């Protein structure tokens, strides 16, 4: 589903460029649940936003469902992302002036769907996530856990092939976090590919594998080729 080769992200600064991501090679198969971990500043969220096609300022190769993303125009990238990618943010990113039901309808408004079909899809999502009673409330009237639940429902309402989640439990207490992770597991079991950024080893373990970043590099697993003696200036870290 996803294939990255020699992907790099840098920013210009006085005296040269600072690399945020270096020589990233990564494959993600359809139906996988991948956790991305690393210290603050490692490049985790930057990588996720590149995967979500929110960030187009990078070099290298990114194939998504056979499409060479680096060769697409911005409008084509945006359309590809809308069709196949759902994004869950740490800070929920719900629209404050819209009700729960109206927030859920937003991703469907980009599709060629009749209003009756959009309303039916919203009704199904409200029922599936057991938030029918919240449909006419505004985000400010919800708890953090309820807002994140709506955020996940919004991410999947259009049937994306992959969910990208950036610290989805970072603002939640432990019980709410477990509920969201249980939800991701169910979605993955149903066939949705999930890629999450997390600081929690417990939540990372809910996935099939963990990709670790440090200083913009993918860190090879202990015992893998290239693990010993890799320097940040000369080695290429790869995950297969």
Neighbours of 145 (CB within 10 A): 17
pLDDT value of position 230: 43
pLDDT value of position 231: 38
Q: Are the C-beta atoms of residues 217 and 23 closer than 8 Å to each other?
A: yes
The alpha helices in 157-233, defined as continuous H runs, are 174-189, 201-204
User: 222 exposed, middle or buried (CB, 10 Å; 0-12, 13-18, 19+)?
Assistant: exposed
Considering the entire predicted model, what is its pTM? Answer: 0.87
Number of domains in the chain: 1
pLDDT value of position 16: 84
Average pLDDT, the chain: 89
239: alpha, beta or left, given left = phi > 0 and alpha = psi -120 to 50? beta
In the chain, what percentage of residues exceed pLDDT 90? 75
pLDDT value of position 111: 83
Provide the domain limits for residue 101: 2-239
Instruction: Return d(Cα 194, Cα 208) in angstroms, integer.
Output: 10
pLDDT value of position 220: 87
pLDDT value of position 222: 61
- Which stretches of the chain drop beneath a pLDDT of 50? 227-240
> Judging by DSSP bridges, how do beta strands 217-218 and 85-88 pair with one another?
unpaired
Q: Are the C-beta atoms of residues 64 and 71 closer than 8 Å to each other?
A: no
Measured in degrees and rounded to the nearest 5, phi and psi for residue 33 equal: -125, 105
**pLDDT, tens digit, 9 for 90 and up, residues 50-81:** 999 999 999 999 999 999 999 999 999 999 99
């Amino acid at each position: 589903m996803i294939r990255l080769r020699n992907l790099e992200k840098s920013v210009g600064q006085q005296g040269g460029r600072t690399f945020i991501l270096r020589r990233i090679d990564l494959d993600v198969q359809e139906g996988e649940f991948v956790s991305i971990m690393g210290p603050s500043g490692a490049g985790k969220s930057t990588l996720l936003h590149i995967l979500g096609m929110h960030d187009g300022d990078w070099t290298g190769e990114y194939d998504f469902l056979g499409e060479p993303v680096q060769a697409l125009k911005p409008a084509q990238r945006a359309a590809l992302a809308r069709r196949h990618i759902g994004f869950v943010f740490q800070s929920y990113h719900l629209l404050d002036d819209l009700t729960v039901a109206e927030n859920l309808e937003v991703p469907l408004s980009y599709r060629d769907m009749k209003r009756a079909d959009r309303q039916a899809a919203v009704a199904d999502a409200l029922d599936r996530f057991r938030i029918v009673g919240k449909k006419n409330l505004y985000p400010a009237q919800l708890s953090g856990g309820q807002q994140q639940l709506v955020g996940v429902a919004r991410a999947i309402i259009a049937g994306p092939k992959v969910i990208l989640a950036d610290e989805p439990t970072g603002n939640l207490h432990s019980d709410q976090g477990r509920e969201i992770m249980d939800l991701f597991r169910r979605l993955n079991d149903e066939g949705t590919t999930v890629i999450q950024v997390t600081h929690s080893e417990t939540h990372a373990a809910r996935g099939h594998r963990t990709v670790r970043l440090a200083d913009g590099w993918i860190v090879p697993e202990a015992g893998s080729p290239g693990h010993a003696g890799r320097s940040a200036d000369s080695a290429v870290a790869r995950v297969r």
